[in-house]
Amino acid sequence: MEKTLFAISCPGRIGVSLPECDVPETEIPNDLARTGEIGLPQVTEGQVMRHFVRLSNRNYNIEKGIYPLGSCTMKYNPRLHEALARIPGLAALHPLSPDHTVQGTLELMHALGTCLCEITGFSGVTLQPAAGAQGEFTGLMLIRSAHLAAGEPGRDKVLMPDSAHGTNPATSTMAGMKVVPVKSNDHGMVDVEDVKAKVGPDTAALMLTNPNTLGLFDSNILEITEAVHRAGGLNYMDGANMNAMLGVARPGDMGFDVCHLNLHKTFSTPHGGGGPGSGPVCCNERLEPYLPNPVVVKNNDGYALSGMGNTSFGRLMAFHGNVGVLYRAYAYIMTLGAAGLREVTEGAVVNANYLKARLRGHYPVPFDNGPCMHEFVAGGPEMAGLGLKTLDVAKRLLDYGFHAPTVYFPLIVKEALMMEPTETETMESIDEFAEALIAIAREAREKPHLLTDAPVNTPVLRLDEVKAAKELVVVEPREES
Amino acid sequence: MEKTLFAISCPGRIGVSLPECDVPETEIPNDLARTGEIGLPQVTEGQVMRHFVRLSNRNYNIEKGIYPLGSCTMKYNPRLHEALARIPGLAALHPLSPDHTVQGTLELMHALGTCLCEITGFSGVTLQPAAGAQGEFTGLMLIRSAHLAAGEPGRDKVLMPDSAHGTNPATSTMAGMKVVPVKSNDHGMVDVEDVKAKVGPDTAALMLTNPNTLGLFDSNILEITEAVHRAGGLNYMDGANMNAMLGVARPGDMGFDVCHLNLHKTFSTPHGGGGPGSGPVCCNERLEPYLPNPVVVKNNDGYALSGMGNTSFGRLMAFHGNVGVLYRAYAYIMTLGAAGLREVTEGAVVNANYLKARLRGHYPVPFDNGPCMHEFVAGGPEMAGLGLKTLDVAKRLLDYGFHAPTVYFPLIVKEALMMEPTETETMESIDEFAEALIAIAREAREKPHLLTDAPVNTPVLRLDEVKAAKELVVVEPREES
Amino acid sequence: MNRFVPNCRTLRDRMLTEIGVKRVEDLFTPVPEKVRMRGLLNLPPAMSEMELVREYARLAKSNTSHELVCFRGAGSYDHFIPAAVDSILTRSEFFTAYTPYQAEVSQGTLQAIFEYQTMIARLCGTEAANAGMYDGASATAEAALMAMRVTGVNRVLVAGSLNPSYREVIETYLVPGGFQINEIPFGPDGLLDPGAVRTLIQGGAAAMVVQSPNYFGLVENIALASETARANNALLVVVADPISLGVIQAPGALGADIVVGDGQPLGIPMGFGGPYAGFLATSTAHLRKMPGRIIGRTEDRAGNTGYVMTLQTREQHIRREKATSNICTNQALMALANAVYLSLTGEAGFREIARQCHHKAHYLEAGLVKAGARRIFSAPFVREFALRLPGDAFEFEDRLLSAGFLPGLPVPGLGNDAMLFAVTEKRTREEMDAFIGAFSKACGEVR
Amino acid sequence: MNRFVPNCRTLRDRMLTEIGVKRVEDLFTPVPEKVRMRGLLNLPPAMSEMELVREYARLAKSNTSHELVCFRGAGSYDHFIPAAVDSILTRSEFFTAYTPYQAEVSQGTLQAIFEYQTMIARLCGTEAANAGMYDGASATAEAALMAMRVTGVNRVLVAGSLNPSYREVIETYLVPGGFQINEIPFGPDGLLDPGAVRTLIQGGAAAMVVQSPNYFGLVENIALASETARANNALLVVVADPISLGVIQAPGALGADIVVGDGQPLGIPMGFGGPYAGFLATSTAHLRKMPGRIIGRTEDRAGNTGYVMTLQTREQHIRREKATSNICTNQALMALANAVYLSLTGEAGFREIARQCHHKAHYLEAGLVKAGARRIFSAPFVREFALRLPGDAFEFEDRLLSAGFLPGLPVPGLGNDAMLFAVTEKRTREEMDAFIGAFSKACGEVR
Ligand SMILES: Cc1ncc(COP(=O)(O)O)c(C=O)c1O
Ligand SMILES: Cc1ncc(COP(=O)(O)O)c(C=O)c1O
């Protein structure tokens, strides 16, 4: 256990040195002034460093080993990009600086947008969304705007397969739309007939992740998107899985009208323990007029931030998005180029298929009707027969020194274990991971308590989530003094 | 176990991306060209990062906890200084740049030298020595030069107490001098009468650490240095323990003619797992003419690197010393100022005495005849009665999550445990450390195997040093292929 | 194979054999021929690490804003960031980790965010805080949505003195749900017009969204606003500059139900606008209606303290279309920066920084007024203030830019001659005097 | 109390009570009154973190050398350093650790240095290498001392084409011991004069110290030198630029007994001369006479592989006045930088870097010669070369500095018109062409 900063706080200690105030003091009016302690910790710089370094050691991370969270694309985060994003000339810019004082950054944003359009096969782009979910919101808002502009306010349904990521339905609600679930067929893909049956004059959009959350590329994609278009709807692609498609296929070529990308997945920007991310949205010409304000444009004087005029659906963030993340993503694209990006995708797909092959016979893989793309989903029904849960497998993996795959998602696979090794893993590390999983499958039969007791080699044992939700201690209580 | 990079190497992998060569190739003459493999690892950037990050986690460090190595002054290393030393305008300088292109760095070196002179009470300084040992060599070479200049080549003996650090005698040999040991009295200090008996016309120098390696300030210091001076010898102070004396007492005021400082101890520059350090030498006017080349001088045009002329005893390093370390040390002095440095020493001395007080009754402290300075030495003779060694106590401390103190030094205390908490530790962390030591003293009596089996909570168990020396595997054998 | 993709041809062939296919292309057969790309993407040529360093240096050099002495705020502030902050943020363990889905191997992030929640709640004077939102603007919009969930009312009142970008974001978030937004005008003192509040709130409101210090830097009467809101069953959402909370009373203590804002001033570089981190603090009673992640303390099987993500049943991955928000990835690393910053500065340092901002802002304001600017509002301010200049604000901007300053922001909403200034503890008296001098000079030139 | 000293007055008083004294001053009673300082030291006023940042920015700005395009070498080279190197070096676990005295909790440093030793030995073509010395010059001096320990002979021959700073350091280290140093002249081709070698070595020598590529960048005939040395029971010490070992044969493979040099080109910034790391590689037979630390592989009680410092009986803390050297603290973190650099570049990358240095140096040399410089030596070079300029070298230096270049180093030893150039992979053709252009222009101006 690492004591909290509040527990080691001691009056009078301080972790900074400040200059003397070099101007006369101005009194703060008595009725406004804050009195009493705020309750911030009182510790030295050394204590702060020790505290957070020690905490850091209680984290798994990409530099500890494979991080096979499906749908998360946990790839290596290049160190150079961290340094580049911190160059003072790029990092110390006030967001409301006049355009001519930030030409370098605007040029980079413009160039990045152009690259993303090429990668997705679209013509318009906004770099503003802070993450994938905000990108989805952006996409649906573009679609909503187009329908409104076309005088079709009644288009408020979003068709969505039951395998969709939770942000998809949640976003639909925020965009004022209702979800219409479409069925998956027994190949794990969208049931085309069901789409055809459900599209209609109230269809705002089809929202599809491709490859889907089973890691499968929907072979009927053209038929599906066409059906939606024919009914007057638009097609949204959740591009979180773009790592499977760089230089292989482009959403714009598949009949999609708009998609978002997760730079913090496909483009190697670090996840930061939960963020920041960046979820740019690319779209075709039809949707461009509605892009959020501002966008970067190139004109005779160089680059400028410009409003879209009154067709724009609005603004998502106070400023221009997570620019620091954009710096990193652009560096990634520039390092790899077209051939390198294709290598990324090939590596990711080979690695996923290899892991799947290694696990064959040890874990059931539903919908295993051909190659997967960058990830696949195994299931745990056999575990169930042994009274064990996927959660137990996941926790046992921690004991082997690995992070667990994504569990219980997508919902259409019972006891799902969703695995995405990514291209930056070596064959050897995938082998080690596969062997651990295979050993655990054996343990499940022979020594099931190893799974139910797990984890035991971790900084803490299995944690009580029910207690957390019931007692709800979300801040350190103040000491009685 | 972490596999070596050679073990995970795989042909064709690479961790860098290089530009295409943009000039025509020139052939390397056949008879000179290297053929065959060098045998460097072949790994990706991600593998390199993972390897070294994982290795790093097998290290204790100052941000894990107290690092009470006596004589080592393991204090907190300010983070700001790491950033400052890396500013391109300070770090990317060719060492043979013309003076007028490096005025900022020369100014800093000059200012640092001036500060160190003030702190030690001397007038001359060289920043060139790479570490304490090279500083000692510098000091003795200054003394040697002075004696030679005075026509006394016969002065080649160095008086030195038996508690001296190993570098002191080793340096004497390198400087062409012979060690004459002087006795310690039963207060752990230099036996003044023995000094008086041994000084003479062959005395080059007295070499003394003050406070000495027992952490005791030699109260007879003036009498001692005077005796040496009277016999025509000079006094060298090993300033490795200067953390005990900042703003409290100055070597120059105690009759010393020259001393070195360990910037990597007293002035908080990080130890880097064994280096780099920096061992500037300060001296009085008599010794100044012999300082090594080059020194930084201030003249009408600004600052310049200048030779000392032919009185200099020579050169220690290819360039001007460990300038990166100087950047950090200067930042430390500038942050603290005179009052802050005095606080450092007071904090260090209070912490050491507090730890000593906490251990009283649990561990014998020889020579405990008053306050210690920044450190003190406990002994393990009682352990001996239990068939245990100081080494066992040290290893058991590792199990408690602490680094061990310095062991078996100084040689004049049997089974020595030399402890220096430094001023950056909190009272609480000293308490925790003391409690672990007290618990171990109890374990020694009740469950001695816990000590002899230790460590067990570490990345590896106790290592076989004999085997290492006997089999002498100092490089990874090449794979047979 | 490249510096990020490790498996060479030989290994790849072994892997393909294990998979049971001959060529990599065979794995892409599910992709319809028609959409499968034949050639390569049309991207700029790849750059080596060295070339990329040079390219980024070139881009950085095309920027000049970072070299200007900054007196601009309006949501982003030029504070000093202790070096220790970035030393923590660059630990692989923090910045390369994913969302803490496996709590047992994510205690570092989880405890750090728990500590963040505690510090934010204490700063805001509330019982609780969440793990962070995208930024201050989206946090404000989400707070408005949250208030509507809590009250069941579909209308919010938004202060006219709210940062206009925040206002735009609120609209973007609220409009598709069909929610109504009404603006509360501000009076000649720059503060909420209490009469207008009382009138507007009659129509029923889920929340009143008030910024304090407001967009013009002025401290609103939160106690009064809270009273009015409470009397009308509306929640009070206060948007706060966290630095101001070192000198002025915590909105939570004055009755605010939700306190939001942007953590940028707390150890995050201005970075041309992001990544920052929005904070959202509220009372325990409202936790279940709150958007975003929240970390809770619990125990492991041996009774050791540990931390987990809790109340996940509110979130999109469980509740899907009924979730309290669609937010998934947030800005965790930036929240960590806030936590490290607040621990380093601590009780005394943080308050001293806030005080210095206050003193310096007043010093600058007095100097500019003496040099020819006029006060617009009379209400007390903390570290941002709007002045009327003797001429067009954009003309002044041009001249002051040329003199090496990033001056205040022209605020056309207050007239062509209005400018909004911000001051941080980083500004020295010398810099301010030089700025006042340059302003003085400009006064002579602009007419 | 300050940001580094944690114990406040209250705690300190508690501690003093436990110690049994009243005031802090009581702890300083062992210091004689007469030397105890009454006032404070006379130092510049303390600076806050923010002020210090500003002060260092000012100092950095007073330097201009870093902005020059660098063609200077002579022991320090402007190579590109991959960002990953510093990411490793800034891990607290590496940079704040002490010497690995407690091996069980120092496996990170120990294994890394073991890997460093391996890479250095492989690069040098020797069986073994130590954990590093202060720098290339002191490593060379220590190698000479080592050779004398091995052979029992008190005289060394030093090539006249050795870097003059290295030569000075050898003298400093050898003179006090009464050792004799004789210089081997170089011939008109810039290489060791073999006749002179044969004559000089007659008098008996512990070692011949030869730099290859030598100070003028020329590749010496190491095989021949080794033969002569061997025939006369002397050791051959070769000083090598590690980058050159990517293109030319390893000195160890050619018969060198000790290979030393400076690791600076391998991932260490020029840093105005330090910290760098000297390397010292040799055969297993000589290990016990070697200075410095050495890491060995062993096992723990359970048979797990582990690493320890070994052969410590050579070192000062055990052997004291009989130690093989006084070195204690070395440059471990810089050796780690070398190890990370060599792993990143790896077999292929490292060789490509060396090749590019070679090609680019030849491109530049040809260009400068065409523009008016003359070759001084005819022997093959790797990436450094000396030219005779049509005029005073210092005058050329001035003009080229003004044009934005740090040109080669004037080498008065070869005449007033001689300059020594170095090229790294970092230099582009564009930069070289511009430099040649500036040189051409200078040729017209200097007479
Ligand atoms: C398929 C899919 N869609 C959307 C998202 C949401 O992205 P973000 O977390 O960046 O909001 C994710 C992320 O987990 C995802 O995997
Ligand atoms: C008392 C004393 N003298 C000298 C030294 C040698 O210093 P360095 O290791 O920097 O060469 C040390 C370092 O351990 C020491 O403690």
Q: How far apart are CA B318 and CA C199, in angstroms?
A: 81
Ligand 1 site, residue A280, Cβ cutoff 6 A: no
What 8-state DSSP symbol labels residue B189?
A: S
Q: Is the predicted pLDDT of residue B481 greater than 80, yes or no?
A: no
- Reduced to 3 states (helix: H, G, I; strand: E, B; else coil), residue B468 is helix
Q: Which atom of ligand 1 is nearest to the CA of A241?
A: 1
User: Can you tell me the ipTM of this complex?
Assistant: 0.97
List CB contacts (< 8 A) between C82 and chain B: 79-80
Please report, for residues B23, C137, C204, C269, C339, the alpha-carbon distance to residue C264 in angstroms, rounded to integers and kept in the order given: 47, 12, 34, 7, 12
Q: Which of B136, B162, B167 gets mutated to test ligand 2 (max ligand atoms within 8 A of its CB)?
A: B167
- Condensed to tens digits (0 to 9), the pLDDT of residues B160-170 reads 999 999 999 99
pLDDT value at residue D1: 61
Q: C329 in ligand 1 pocket by Cβ < 6 Å?
A: yes
Nearest to B209 by CA among B46, B415, B410: B410
Residue of A nearest to B51 (CA): A63
| CA-based nearest residue in chain B for residue A76 | B46
Give pLDDT < 70 ranges for chain D.
Answer: 1
Q: Report which residue type is found at A326.
A: L
Q: How far is the CA of A113 from the centre of ligand 1 (A)?
A: 20
The finding on whether A277 has its CB within 6 A of some atom of ligand 1 is yes
Whether the CB-CB separation of C391 and C444 falls below 8 Å is answered with no
Residue C18 has pLDDT above 70, yes or no: yes
The 10s digit of each residue's pLDDT in B169-208 is: 999 999 999 999 999 999 999 999 999 999 999 999 999 9
Q: What is the model's pLDDT at position B308?
A: 78
pLDDT number for residue C1? 61
* Nearest of B259, B251, B298 to residue B282 by alpha carbon: B259
Look at residue D315 in the predicted model and tell me its pLDDT: 87
Give the CA distances from residue D436 to residues A110, C219, D189, D369, in Å, rounded to whole numbers and listed in that order.
Answer: 36, 64, 25, 9
Restricting to C residues 284-313, those with a Cβ less than 8 Å away from any Cβ of A are 284, 287, 293-302, 304-308, 310-311, 313
- Alpha-carbon gap, residue C278 to C291, rounded angstroms: 12
Residue nearest to atom 9 of ligand 1 (CA): C329
- Residue to substitute in B67, B69, B71 for testing ligand 2 pocket (most ligand atoms within 8 angstroms of CB): B71
Spatial separation of the C-alpha atoms in residues A396 and C298, rounded to whole Å: 20
The reply to whether residue A42 touches residue C348, judged by beta carbons under 8 angstroms, is yes
The amino acid occupying position D120 is I
Give residue A277's pLDDT. 98
Query: Looking at the complex, does the CB of residue D215 fall below 8 Å from at least one CB of chain B?
Result: no
Dihedral sign of CA atoms A104, A105, A106, A111 in order: positive
Q: Would you say residue C447 has pLDDT above 80?
A: no
- Quote the ligand 2 centre to B292 CA distance (angstroms): 20
Q: Smallest Cβ distance to C269: which of A45, A91, A423?
A: A91
CB contact under 8 A, D272 and B105: yes
Opening angle at CA C101, ends C98 and C105, nearest 5? 80
pLDDT, average across residues B392-421: 95
Residue A480 confidence (pLDDT): 58
Å from D3 to nearest chain A CA?
5
At B353, give phi and psi (nearest 5°): -65, -35
Question: Closest ligand 2 atom to the C-alpha of D329?
Answer: 9
| Min Cα separation A231/chain C (Å) | 22
- Residue C361 burial by Cβ neighbours in a 10 Å radius (0-12, 13-18, 19+): buried
pLDDT at C446: 82
pLDDT > 70: what percent of chain B?
A: 99
Positive/negative CA dihedral, A365, A366, A368, A373 = negative
3-class DSSP state of D348: helix
Confidence of residue B309 (pLDDT cuts 50, 70, 90): confident
Retrieve residue A229's tokens: 């278009």
C53-63, pLDDT tens digit by residue?
A: 999 999 999 99
What pLDDT, on the 0 to 100 scale, is given for residue C322? 87
Instruction: Give φ, ψ of C85 to 5 degrees.
Output: -60, -50
Q: In degrees to the nearest 10, what's the CA dihedral of A166, A171, A172, A174?
A: 140
Contact criterion met (CB < 8 Å) for C80 and D50: yes
Over chain B, what is the mean pLDDT?
96
Q: Is B14 within 8 Å of C2 when comparing Cβ atoms? A: yes
Instruction: Tell me whether residues A336 and C2 touch, CB distance under 8 A.
Output: yes
Q: Kindly state if the Cβ of B138 falls inside 6 Å of ligand 2.
A: no
The pLDDT value recorded for residue B386 is 81
Nearest ligand atom owner, CA of A215: 1
Question: How many angstroms does the Cα of residue A261 sit away from the middle of ligand 1?
Answer: 9
Closest-CA residue in chain B for D244?
Answer: B34
pLDDT digits (tens, 9 = 90+) for B113-134: 999 999 999 999 999 999 999 9
pLDDT of residue B480: 58
Give the model confidence (pLDDT) of D225-264 as tens digits.
999 999 999 999 999 999 999 999 999 999 999 999 999 9
Polymer length in residues for chain B = 481
B236 DSSP 8-state letter: E
Q: Between C53, C82, C91, which is nearest D49 by CB?
A: C82
- Beta carbons of C105 and A454 less than 8 angstroms apart: no
Identity of the amino acid at B195: V
Ligand nearest to the CA of B71: 2
**C106 in contact with A, Cβ within 8 Å:** yes
Cβ–ligand 2 distance for D328 under 6 Å, the answer yes
B165 lines ligand 2 (CB under 6 A): yes
In this complex, do C50 and D90 lie within 8 Å of one another by their Cβ atoms? no
Cβ(A419) to ligand 1 under 6 A?
Answer: no
Dist. CA B87–CA D55, nearest whole Å: 12
Per-residue confidence band for A381, with pLDDT thresholds at 50, 70 and 90? low
CB of B279 sitting under 6 A from ligand 2: yes
Tell me the per-residue pLDDT of A7-27, one tens digit each, with 9 for 90 and over. 999 999 999 999 999 999 999
Mean of the per-residue pLDDT values of chain A: 96
**Best mutation site among A167, A212, A269 for ligand 1, i.e. most ligand atoms within 8 A of its Cβ?**
A167
Question: Which single residue is written with the structure tokens 């790994």?
Answer: B43
Q: What is the 3-state secondary structure (H, E, C) of chain C?
A: CECCECCCHHHHHHHHHHHCCCCHHHHHCCCCHHHCCCCCCCCCCCCCHHHHHHHHHHHHHHECHHHCEECCCCCCCCCCCCHHHHHHHCCHHHHCCCCCCCHHHEHHHHHHHHHHHHHHHHHHCCCEECCCECCHHHHHHHHHHHHHHHHCCCEEEEECCCCHHHHHHHHHHHHHHCCEEEEECECCCCCECHHHHHHHHCCCCCEEEEECCCCCCECCCHHHHHHHHHHCCCEEEEECCHHHHHCECCHHHHCCCEEEEECCCCCCCCHHHCCCCEEEEECHHHHHHCCCCCEEEEEECCCCEEEEECCHHHCHHHHHHHCCCCCCCCCHHHHHHHHHHHHHHHHHHHHHHHHHHHHHHHHHHHHHHHHCCEECCCCCECCEEEEECCCCHHHHHHHHHHCCEECCEECHHHCCCEEEEECCCCCCHHHHHHHHHHHHHHHHHCC
List pLDDT tens digits, range A338-374. Answer: 999 999 999 999 999 999 999 999 999 999 989 999 9
